[in-house]
Structure 1
Amino acid sequence: MRTAILTASRRALGPAALLLCLLPLPGLAAAEGWLEVHADDGRLIAALPVPEGEAWCLEWNHSVAGFPVLDCYRHREGRMVLERSHLPDFAAGLDHIPGRGRQVSDGEGGYWIEAIDEPVPGNRYRLRVGSPEVNHRLLHEGRRLSLSDQAAGERVTIHLQTSATTP
């Protein structure tokens, strides 16, 4: 019985609860940098340590073609910076905007847009999390965390917390 309750509790809380275990002592998060995802109701969906210089990506499946698309960011000097994007095809809505980075082949029929280097205003942006088929997910240190498993159909805010952005 106890095992069943623990298993049910883990399932109900999901991966976000595991990430809560990584939260630092008060004041430490701001110094090192944390990527936080909050639902509109204030619920913490994810919290990842992202020290200065570290990178992460938001990956999702294209809603028409179904292949994965990537937007990759870096914590650079206290800022969330969009560095590059990977687009495996020129499908609907996926194209390079001249003057915004440079397009290079990925060698497999798709392409990277490199050197975008755009700071994200306020170190945060809003996202409507896609269905399980779209499966918005964070990629960080070789791990994937599905936001769709936690908040499909919800609006969330993805925010890099640093000493410059923490009140």
Structure 2
Amino acid sequence: MRRRHRWLVGALLLGVAAAHAQQLVVMRDDGAVLLRLELSAVPTWEVRWYHSVAGFEVRDRYRLKGGQMLLQDSYAPDFAAGLGHIPGRGRLESDPNGGYWLREIDEPVPNNRYALRVGSARVDHRLVHAGRSISLSALAAGERVTLAVVPAAQSPAADVTP
């Protein structure tokens, strides 16, 4: 009987974990899924791209905390067009290699989703997760996509994960 109880408890715990599993999906406006990433083991990711005017790499780091997508940190080597620090929004920190970090932004992303106009190959929007870099520009340059955190059970059925 003890084995049966252990099996039942294990099955219930797996069911609870599956019910709370979250995925980051990238989809086109027509709902086609371009990318799906499981966030259970690694609940952080970055969106990286090259600034269209200055040409340097910008990094926005996100995390999932308590089911909420948060913009955690942002990095840029310079205060170029569209970049900078807003007092009260994170902590400005110099990077010893040059540039700056905006740390501890921890800004909730409304509805766990946001739209992104994917840049050309020169801009090279990339999604970095668990040591893997995926070029969004290779998948959807010039298109509007939505990045969204959704429960794994609710994510769209189609899967074209590269």
Interval containing the TM-score (normalised by the shorter chain)? 0.7 to 0.9
Which residue of the other structure, out of 90, 95, 102, is the alignment partner of 1:106? 95
Which residues of structure 1 form unaligned runs of 5+? Answer: 1-26
Task: Give the direction of change, closer, same or farther, for the CA distance of 1:40–1:28 in structure 2 (3 Å limit).
Answer: farther
Other-structure match for 2:10: none
Which residues of structure 2 form unaligned runs of 5+? Answer: 1-15, 156-162
Say if 2:94 and 2:101, in contact at 8 Å, map to a contact too.
Answer: yes
Output the amino acid matched with 1:159: A
Output the amino acid matched with 1:145: I
Deviations 1:9-51 (A, max 9, x none): xxxxxxxxxxxxxxxxxx9765211000001122111000112
Other-structure match for 2:144: 155
**In the aligned structure 1, how far is the partner of 2:59 from the partner of 2:34?**
20
Which residue of the other structure, out of 62, 65, 68, is the alignment partner of 1:76? 65
**In the aligned structure 2, how far is the partner of 1:143 from the partner of 1:46?**
13
Say if 2:60 and 2:71, in contact at 8 Å, map to a contact too.
Answer: yes
Report how far residue 88 of structure 1 moved: 1.0
Q: How many residues align structurally?
A: 141
User: Following TM superposition, where does structure 1 have runs of at least 4 consecutive aligned residues deviating by more than 6 angstroms?
Assistant: none
Rg larger in structure = 2
Give % identity. Answer: 54
Which residue of the other structure, out of 31, 40, 47, is the alignment partner of 1:51? 40
Q: Work out whether 1:128 is the aligned partner of 2:117.
A: yes
Normalised by the length of structure 1, the TM-score is 0.78
Output the amino acid matched with 1:49: E
- Larger RCO: Structure 1 or Structure 2 (Cα < 8 Å, ≥ 6 residues apart)? 2
RMSD between superposed Cα atoms in Å: 2.3
